[in-house]
Chains A and B, each alone.
Chain A
Amino acid sequence: MNEPLIQVRDFRKIYGDLVAVDGISFEVQRGEIFGLLGPNGAGKTSTLESLEGLRAPDGGSLQLMDVDPAHQPRKLRNLIGVQLQTSGLPDSINLDEAMKFFCAYHGVVPRYDLLDRFGLKEKKRTQYYQLSAGQQRRLGLALAVAHNPPVLFLDEPTAGLDVASRIELHNLMRELQAAGTTIILATHDMAEANEMASRLAILLHGKIAATGTPLELTATGSGFTKVSVRTKGSSLSDPDLNFPAVSKHISKDEYVIYYSTDIGPTVSAIITHVKVQEDTLVDLRVERPSLEDRFLEITTTGGVQ
């Protein structure tokens, strides 16, 4: 996992007066699932499309397995598989034809087995427009991996999928990763990014606002850890009661919720206090800031790399 497969250096993309991407740099290692997060207009699509060879950079450099995507499209073609957010297929094409069509252009034998694998066995003769959104997504993914590319770009892969399809797709992503495929995942789904990505970059206004593993990102924010406590008695009911590292607390239902910057001393002090007051602890929950909390924090306050 230490060989950079994708290298982005000071990459810029400009549309007229709009600077869509403003000098970002990052690397993706072989076998990683690298997540790109960001609100709409942050520069995710421009970055992805430039790596896919659809757009030329206006500054900096992009390298994918030593191939320049903008200037070596023929070499790039078999190195990448792309599942686009939009259909990318003619309405009247059926699944067998689609598999045959794309495999022919990649010079590989059609992988009809992937249609079976993706639960599309019964739909082989069905035209594309007759498929459900989930089936269209699964077909898009089957076509993207049919030529066995070392790098896979997934743009909102689970949007519109039901729970079972989503789990199946995540399992497949893990399998591909285990087989050495590098995956670039653009998503708005924080739970998906948290669960699947080895590392993440959060883009904001064309810059990388934060990067790291999901755990690193959630740990480095200014967000508080929530400690929710419920006791049998009223030992925590005094509003002037204070615990170490707690910046504020609220009461909700039968719980007192403490917002702590350092949960160790806070939890320890709460337990001691309850014990001293001869009260009984009924429930104690610790909730770390989620990736979604961190994302919201970054996108509302702006972040720096």
Chain B
Amino acid sequence: MRAALVASSYLPERGRLERRVDELARGLAKRGVEVEILTQGPAQLVPERREGVIIRRFPTVAGPLRFPAAPRLLERLRVAFPPFDVVDVHTRQLSLASAVASTRVRRLVFTPSVPVDAFANWRHTGATRAIVGAAVEIVCASEFERDVVCRIVPEANRRTQVLPDGVDMAALGAATPFDIDDIVVLAADRLNHATGVGRAIAAMPSLDPEFRLVVVGDGPARARLSAFAADLRISSRVRFVGAVSDEVLFRWLRTARVVVTLPGDGGSGSLVAEARVAGVAVVASDLPIHRQAAGRPGLGPVVFVAPRGSPLDVADAIEEAARLPISSGAALLPSSATSWESVIDSTWRLYRRLVGEPVDSEPERTPSEVVDLTPQLPKRRQSGAEPVISGVAQSGAEEGNARVWWQSRRRFENGMNGARRWP
């Protein structure tokens, strides 16, 4: 079987989309699928080869012209011989998905990525309908994404399935924390205006000096965010480590006391899921996709904040999350958490079904996927005190240890302000 994974961007840029494409490509190659990753980027003379996967990059710029989708990428889809059995489009850009759909490839799988809200925008509804209409299967990363897609194109309901991002629990379990005494707050995302890293930085002046923010990831807004931290006089407390490998990211996840993910919209639940599996408290924007991730199994509690609220509320939420105790003595429960292996298996079965090959039944998960992180949790987390501020009980996906932090709580539940005195 030949499969093309079309990605709007790919490594070394790191984000949810890039990680998913990378995991899928390597996993499918191990299962005997002939995989090509077709992505946009600087042109290269010779295609890369990595773990049995061919990576081709095509420029979107030709002289003074800038194209919404790389013309040579589309040409490759048209003229590849033998033709691809399955073309799976992972994209943040509707323009690329539209262009691929217009090439009339044989079996188009559409995997919309963040921000899914853009697909629901009235200006993009027509394009979304065209893409979904051309796709034989739509793979969403969350129930929320599926709801959005099915709301726009109701007839796609039968062709839409949910395959959430996986969590590499073995690598998480093997990662060793960095030796840092301060309270580490981790923000890991692409650095652009939409991911809300700026809000995490803006919250730092309101937190005690022992809180340190570690920003993992890179992007066009890195210089601006760095200047923003300097302008707030907190450069010494904010560390930009850039784009790192998964192993280093997992080490930071194991080091952090609190993980923050604060996009104003869109977003993905993958960081929330990984942090919870690692037993780290999470402060997340109150978005449906985060709520669903918080409903999945894991140890780490989740504190929600308003998606476009005050940095003071973010600071309060971080303080509360840092105080929350971590469940001790409990093993992770991967029987219900999604591993990358299960995601790859599901994708492989989907491709085989599409090309008419016999499909095996759902495989059992092996015991080797069960990892107990509790002994490796930093001691300070296990001895955490009881939370000082009680959470607001919520229903549905927020059952368990998720909490909501709205402005009104800070203002009224705790002596109008609930904040520390200044100075």
**Are A and B associated in one complex?**
no
